[in-house]
Structure 1
Amino acid sequence: MASNAEPVLRSLFCFNFYRGWRGISEFYRRYLPEGISAQQSYLLELCKTNEGILVGEIAHQLEIEMSAVSGLLKRMEVSGLVRREVAPQNRRQTLVYLTDEGEQLRSQVHTAMVVADKQLSKAIPKEDKVALMKVVDQIRVLIGEDG
């Protein structure tokens, strides 16, 4: 039995972004190693083995709250992918480093991200991609973030 809600939902801009996010997440998941989320892959991409990154910088770059970064880092620490250290220049800050295992996974994830992006670029015309990025930036302005 067909639902009456679908036509209404499909007409909502927000719902279509939700559908797009779910679709891109599923697409991307097919390229990532088992058990690695999109957020984890982005965090791995930000980190370098011998060069720590501040937790606050991770939050800024991923555009998520510090509490969300904390949970993400905790799961990745338990998995042996990252380690945290107090920053020597400011004991109130924490630096994140990749472990050797994290660096190996980072390399694998980076390759997967590039392959997935190439597949998307083949499937979606450049002008559509540019238009989407512009719309996302406009939404970010609406919520008070510069985009």
Structure 2
Amino acid sequence: MLDKGVETLDPPRLSDQLCFAAYAAAHAFGKAYREVLDPLGLTYPQYLVLLVLWEDGEMAVKDIGRRLHLDTGTLTPLLKRMEAAGLVRRKRSLDDERQVRVSVTGKGRDLKKPVADACEHVACTLELPPAKVEALRASLIEIVHSLGRR
């Protein structure tokens, strides 16, 4: 029983939560990308790894993890599956045997065009003007940086 005169605070509403809006958007993106990547034999995390490697070329596992905000424990099994599928090659660095370097194979490079087409399809389903998409992307990156400074 509450004392008279004691003000109670209403719990926050789910629909007012930025974190839930971001979560729901990530879930919707995951579903949209799953629909276009499944036929290519890719998962969304594998797609992200390929994007990084296509951009930067051969990289150390730790650098891929840094770019994707993934720890080595998550990334290593993912890369092993990609290697088994013939998409990437992993090899120990000649300079430092503790470091594993990853590169895209020919099979992985051959996915560039189909992946670009799949991404275009997802972008078109957004039905948002490019300027708004860019503004949302920039805002989300700001949030990641702000929360990462904690």
Q: TM-score, normalised by structure 2?
A: 0.74
Instruction: Tell whether the 8 Å contact from 1:81 to 1:100 is kept in structure 2 after alignment.
Output: yes
Select which of 104, 127, 134 maps to 1:98: 104
Deviation at 1:78, TM superposition (A): 2.3
Deviation at 1:128, TM superposition (A): 2.9
Deviation at 1:72, TM superposition (A): 1.2
Query: Aligned residue for 1:111?
Result: 117
Runs of 4+ that moved beyond 4 A:
none
CA–CA separation in structure 2 for the residues paired with 1:85 and 1:52: 10
Deviation at 1:8, TM superposition (A): 3.1
- What SS class does the counterpart of residue 143 from structure 1 fall into? helix
Instruction: Tell whether the 8 Å contact from 1:33 to 1:109 is kept in structure 2 after alignment.
Output: no
Query: Aligned residue for 1:41?
Result: 47
Instruction: Tell whether the 8 Å contact from 1:45 to 1:110 is kept in structure 2 after alignment.
Output: no
Q: Which amino acid aligns with 2:36?
A: Y
Query: Aligned residue for 1:8?
Result: 13
Q: Which amino acid aligns with 2:116?
A: H
Query: Aligned residue for 2:78?
Result: 72
Query: Aligned residue for 2:140?
Result: 136
Instruction: Tell whether the 8 Å contact from 1:41 to 1:106 is kept in structure 2 after alignment.
Output: no
The alignment of Structure 1 onto Structure 2 pairs a total of residues equal to: 135
Query: Aligned residue for 1:21?
Result: 26
CA–CA separation in structure 1 for the residues paired with 2:60 and 2:113: 21
Q: Which runs of 5+ in 1 are unaligned?
A: 1-6
Q: TM-score, normalised by structure 1?
A: 0.75
Relative distance call for 1:32 and 1:21 in structure 2 (3 A) is: same
Relative distance call for 1:131 and 1:47 in structure 2 (3 A) is: closer
Note the aligned Cα RMSD (angstroms): 2.4
